Amino acid sequence: MQRLTILGSTGSIGASTLDVVARNSGQFEVVALTARSRADLLCEQCLRFRPRYAVLADAAAAGLLQQELAAAGSATEVLSGTAALEQVASLPEVTTVMAAIVGIAGLRASLAAARGGKRVLLANKEALVTAGGVFMSAVREHGAELLPIDSEHNAIFQSLPQGGRDGMAACGVRRILLTASGGPFRTTPLAQLAGVTPEQAVAHPNWSMGRKISVDSATMMNKGLEVIEARWLFDADPGMIEVVIHPQSVVHSLVEYQDGSVLAQLGNPDMRTPIAHALAYPQRIASGADFLELAAVGTLQFEPVDTGRFPCLRLAYEALRAGPSAVIALNAANEVAVEEFLQRRIGFLDIPRVIETVLARVPHRRITGLEEVEAVDAEARIAATRASVVPQKARALS
């Protein structure tokens, strides 16, 4: 029996995790569920899965949820704040933590799970993007088990002997190929990208995801972050990690070996597949995803990435080569720029412009712990907010 804490249970990954859990009753017990603000959905989840704890960001909202649950006869205890997230991620009775909080907001709780020696199912890529060295040290020092949830990294994990724990050289790997759908603007004329709306950017052709990650897919920053994540997950040199566009999203990633063999993991685009794989590893359980019919797919298409169309991918590689502080700045600037775009304060093409501006302004520094990570992140966010004001003023004058 695995005992679960799900960090970010009301998001798409969290909801899919609970769906897999429900399909495999008797194998999992939900100990804690957390959400940032969606108290109504969290209440429904608590009444169905009966966790010992629930966590909301806001104390007042947590108090109201506690009253609602008590009135419904629920024994779930409602907590609030960042410290509560770390608490439920490291509870002694918890064996497995689904780390699915979006953005750097999930870093401390994910790190608490690693320091607690848990099996960490990592969907919060920012934990590795912003604090890869710190996070992987915690995994090693505390005997945690790290399993990737991103479909691409889960595919690589499945295509490597023992998940690549012996290292790329020992496995005979030549390169890792991360697949990318190309998002909604793969073939859009470049002249039209300046007028892209948030609604168009979040309309992913294959995957159902949250708004932030959908925009990241449209800019291909998600793939840049995944390159950085793969560097830490698999201890791979950046030069070994390549990106290829695969519009069908059926081949989730590939590993090429020195002997010329290429191993890949295929499946329909459904996040329940990697979630089920990681929840039950090394066994296999039902995920609820449709089975893949290759004859129905017909053709599998692959294309090189045009970094002129997708400059965010180029910026991610540049930041990775520049060092940890540049990567932290890249992630922070992207989070700010995407939110500004979703709020219609900047245009779609301003997202890479803001990021590049921040990378040029934030100085490089040595990263040895979480405090340095958070300091660089805060500095980069201020710089990104300032850089976002320029196109706002330009729009006001036009």
Give φ, ψ of 173 to 5 degrees.
-85, 135
- Separation CA 198–CA 215 (nearest Å): 8
pLDDT value of position 397: 46
pLDDT value of position 390: 66
∠ Cα 310 217 239 (to 5°): 60
- Separation CA 132–CA 330 (nearest Å): 14
Per-residue pLDDT of 26-70, as tens digits, reads 999 999 999 998 999 999 999 999 999 999 999 999 999 999 999
Within its chain, how far is the Cα of 261 from the centroid? 29
- Separation CA 149–CA 110 (nearest Å): 13
- Separation CA 8–CA 100 (nearest Å): 5
Residue 204 identity: H
- Order of strands across the sheet with 119-122? 77-80, 53-56, 28-35, 2-7, 96-99, 119-122, 145-148
Which residues of the chain, if any, have pLDDT below 70?
Answer: 207-208, 390-398
Handedness of CA 386, 391, 393, 394 (dihedral sign): positive
User: Taking Cα atoms as reference points, which of 108, 234, 110 lies closest to residue 162?
Assistant: 234
What domains sit in the chain, N to C, each tagged with a CATH number? Answer: 2-148 (3.40.50.720), 155-297 (no CATH), 323-397 (1.10.1740.10)
pLDDT value of position 383: 97
The three-state DSSP-derived secondary structure of the chain is CEEEEEECCCCHHHHHHHHHHHHCCCCEEEEEEEECCCHHHHHHHHHHHCCCEEEECCHHHHHHHHHHHHHCCCCCEEEECHHHHHHHHCCCCCCEEEECCCCHHHHHHHHHHHHCCCEEEECCCHHHHHHHHHHHHHHHHCCCEEEECCHHHHHHHHHCHHHHCCCHHHHCEEEEEEEECCHHHCCCCHHHHHHCCHHHHCCCCCCCCCHHHHHHHHHCHHHHHHHHHHHHHCCCCHHHEEEEECCCCCEEEEEEECCCCEEEEECCCCCHHHHHHHHHCCCCCCCCCCCCCHHHHCCCCCECCCCCCCHHHHHHHHHHHHCHHHHHHHHHHHHHHHHHHHCCCCCCCHHHHHHHHHHHHCCCCCCCCHHHHHHHHHHHHHHHHHHHHHHHHHHHHC
